[in-house]
Each structure stands twice: as structure tokens, then as C-alpha cells.
A and B are shown apart, each in its own frame.
Chain A
């Protein structure tokens, strides 16, 4: 048995039965990393010694009968979440040597659950991108086809899960950065409702949109990881105080009587033929499971790209003002005067996509343009939210593609930022509305690259999309397919 291929729930059963130890499991994961990481490039930093020590500690917990669902399970963390004592780069040269003095709440929770932290995964710089190509550190390749992008910005986490270089992973999603790489890498990714998971210790990109969530090999694992990271955190003032459900509890409740909406705007022209076919087949499967599907309209969908690419850069331009070479990160040491030091540091420290977004955001917020750009976008955002509210009056969940095409080739959209932005069209609306969304494998293109089904729910209805995703997964075999590395 190749232990690195196990899911979290399979590993947990074997660990609890003492059939395997976490030390064996963690060693198997690092062996796998040794075999495939040169090809995939999922990780920025690996912490093997620390991981082996955590595994030994987890084994001791299990021996004492104190293990939980994540005890001894090797997980990968996107390099945008602070890890005390472990370098956290955000995929940026400006934070290349930053060692956080504290851990993000999500990381702390995973440590308290005695999960094993394998390392920090690659990402687009400051999570700005859809392909992980904007990382200043390295290239990550799609495990299914090494000439293609893994998606982004959580491309390293999704690729690590798909390539069995970890058992589960954590990503973040601002405009699709969990759902889209999960889709392209053939794994499961959940973007929770805004406010469901603490953002404390998550390096900020766009604060009204950023959300942390799991990327996993199957839906059950996704629910287990979500249980491990969610919940109110007084350190995050946008975290929502509420009772947290056990997300694994309703997995098998079935789909009988469920009202499923198919938003017409997500199936219009521009969707790749293979994606359209896979989605149509998926809808048939879900109807066959007892759900009732009906067409709905989200009329402001087409404006989501424009709204998002004004609001997110506006928030980013403000958030990234903190990188000034004073308190942490890179400083250009040649400048002899303060203002010069700021601009030399920022110009040399930030990559081109980050600089582009800072300029767009600063422009959209500047005197004379604020109302026309940021103000207008914030109003259309209200209309996008109202579209969803209306749809959820009559539907439990919505089904949609995650991305209009399968993973594109490395380099294909790098010179044309607008083309890259437009590829996010199907994930942005849910981000702007703050609702929950999951991506689950639903097919393959003719070239053999994975296609994902996106399931959306209203705020804090994650249990429902997890249930639909689980029922669909159990009725199909896409999640059992592995990339041939």
C-alpha cells in the first residue's frame, strides 16, 4: 500500500487501528515529495525535521487514545498563512525572508489538532493570479499535464494534493483561488462563507473577499478539514460568532427534494465544449439522485469581472501599503532618503502583477475617479448579491462550471492580463457575494485534464453544498482517477 495516496479519513482509520503510524505516513509523504516535487514544484518551503517530530508526537497522542480526525495527518499550508518560525513568503520577493513571530489561527487550530505540517505551498504573489505563474519564487506545474498551469492562486496546495505530496491542504480564495486550482488539478476545494473561518494571520490581499478553506482528495476530507479550521475568532473582527456544525454529519443525507438552480448565464457562449458536456452530464447525475433542477437567472453575472478587478485591487492597494521596508521584509538598502527608500523597496520587491494591481487600485480610489470606478463597482456588487438572494429564495443550491476552460498552458495568458482576469468569470460572483462554493471533479477534457463542478449556497449553508458534492462524488468515479506522474 502506498501510504501517500491515502485520504484523511482512510489514514485516520488506519492510525486509530494502529495499522500504521504517523511517522510512517509522514515518511511516505516525504518520499513521494522526493520522487515528484522536481516535476510539480508545489512547495516553497519544506519542514521535514519539524514534521517528523510532530508525527512522533501525534503517534504518542494516538497511543494514549487522544487522537482526533486530523491527528498525525500530513497537511500542506499555502504560503500566505503565517506559521510561527517557518518562513512565509506570499510568493513574493518582498517577503522572501520573512519569519512570522506568530501563527495564523487556522495554523494554530491544525497544530492543536496534532496535524503534521509538511511545508508551505507555492502561490501567485500575494494571491494575485489565476495560474500560480505570478509567483516570484518558482513555477508550479499541473500534475495531470506538466505543460499546463495548476490554476491559482492556491496552485501549490491543489497540485500537492493531486500529486499525493500531502494528504490534505489549506488554501485561500479571494476570487476563486481555492475552487479554480482544485478544479484544474482534479481535487475538491471549498471556499467557505466570508466570516466562517478566521483570517487572523492570513496576509491580507482584499480584506472584504479573502477567505481560508480546505483543498482535499475527496469531499469527506474537505468536511473534516473544514471542521478543523472553522469557527469564531475574537482576533478577526469580521469573523462571525455562530454555532459551528459538524460538516461530516449530513454527508449521506441524500438529495431527495432538493431544489437545484442552473443559472443560465453560466452556460452561455464562451464555455469550452468539453466543460459544457461534463456539466450537462453532472446535472443529469444530480437529477438522477432525486434533486429537482430548474433554470434560474443571475442577470448581473457578466459584470463580475469588472466589479472584482476594481474592488480587489482597490483593497490591495491599501493593504499592501504596509510593505515599506521598515518593519519587515525586503529593503533596498542603497537609498539614503526615506521616500526614496519606500519607492525603491516597493519597485524592486513587488512583481509586475502586484504593481499592476496596486496602480489600478490606487487609480480607482484616487480623487476624481473614486465615484466612477470604486463607487460604481461597489453598487454593482450590491446587484450581484441581490441576484443570488433572489435565486436562493427558490433554490437550495446552484450548479455552475468553475472555469470556462480546462487548465490553460503555462505562458498562454501571461502577456495579456485582461484575458487572465476574464478566466475568473465563474468564481468571482460568489466571492463578491461572500457566499460558499465548492469545486468537485466532474469529468475530463479530451486532452485528459480535469473539469470541476461548482456548487454554490447562500451564506453559511456549507453543509448543503458538501452534501450535494458528496452525493455526486459517490455516484461517479472521477475522484478515484490519479494523474500519471
Chain B
């Protein structure tokens, strides 16, 4: 077994996803198949191979630190589910 229901629930919690029982069963079965397939990578010897995280070689992309126009507070808040007094409003964090 590659992955248990308990692990799926744990990973979902890390990703802030709340799964119902049916979804847990479905994803556990599908992830089992997918992760088993991923094991084909273990056939490859990668001992002296460095990892690639980016296909094109670019070193640090620097720019001058200049003040430029940016979007207004109004347009930044225009898509907010809730906003008030120029701020995003969220449910209470501390009880």
C-alpha cells in the first residue's frame, strides 16, 4: 500500500481541503494507482545527477528599485468577497 486514507486526510488538511468520506475513498484509490505508477522512477539511477527546477538558465533577475504606478486600493479591493475601510475583511482569527 502506497497511501492510506489517514495520509490522504492529513495531506488534505495541510492543503486546506476538507474532504467528505466519499472523496477520501475515491482519492485514496486513485492516488494509490498514481503513486504506484510513480515508482517506475526508482528504476532510474540518479545518484550523480543534480535536480532541475528550471529549464532555462537565468541567474538573479535584478532591476532598479524605482517607484512606479501600481493599481489603486479601490481596484485591489474590487474583487474582495468582503472589504471595509480600505481593508480585506476575514472571519475572526482569535476567539
Contacts and interface: CB of A to CB of B under 8 A. Distances in A.
Interface in A375-412: 375-383, 385
B1 interface: no
B16 A366 contact: no
A340 B17 CA distance: 10
Nearest to A435: B55
Contacts of A194: 55-56
Interface string A73-105: 000000000000000000000000111011000
Nearest to B55: A434
A243 B63 CA distance: 19
B81 A333 contact: yes
Interface residues of A, number: 74
Given A328-B79, A343-B18, A379 B51 contact: yes
Nearest to A320: B15
Interface string B84-95: 000010111100
Interface in B28-69: 30-31, 33-35, 37-38, 40-42, 44, 46, 49-56, 58, 61, 63
Contacts of B81: 325-326, 328-331, 333
Interface string A229-246: 000001001101000000
A433 B40 contact: no
A448 interface: no
A302 B40 CA distance: 9
B5 interface: no
Contact of A385 (B17, B27, B55): B55
Contacts of B38: 306, 309-310, 373, 377
Contacts of B78: 99, 101
A199 interface: no
Contact of A339 (B16, B40, B46): B16
Contact of A306 (B7, B12, B41, B51): B41
A353 to B, nearest CB: 10
A209 B93 CA distance: 36
Contacts of A131: none
Contacts of A300: 44
A468 B64 CA distance: 41
Given A331-B82, A359-B31, A326 B71 contact: no
Given A238-B58, A343-B17, A359-B27, A378 B53 contact: yes
A contact patch SS: helix
A337 B55 contact: no
Contact of A307 (B14, B41, B58): B41
B33 to A, nearest CB: 5
B34 A417 contact: yes
A385 B15 contact: no
A255 B88 CA distance: 59
Contacts of A459: 55-56
B91 A347 contact: no
A376 B51 CA distance: 8
A230 to B, nearest CB: 14
Contacts of A355: 17, 19, 23, 27
Interface string B1-24: 001000110011111111100010
Nearest to B74: A101
A238 B27 CA distance: 34
A356 interface: yes
Nearest to A347: B18
B56 A238 contact: yes
B84 to A, nearest CB: 13
Contacts of A328: 79-81
A346 interface: yes
Quick one: which of B56, B61, B92 has the most chain A CB within 10 A? B56
25 contacts: A101-B75, A102-B71, A237-B61, A303-B40, A306-B41, A309-B38, A317-B15, A328-B80, A338-B91, A341-B91, A347-B17, A347-B19, A359-B12, A362-B11, A362-B14, A363-B7, A376-B42, A378-B53, A382-B52, A383-B44, A385-B55, A417-B34, A434-B54, A434-B56, A459-B55
Given A101-B79, A432-B55, 16 more contacts: A101-B78, A237-B61, A238-B56, A238-B58, A303-B40, A310-B38, A327-B76, A327-B79, A338-B92, A359-B31, A363-B7, A363-B11, A373-B38, A377-B38, A379-B51, A418-B30
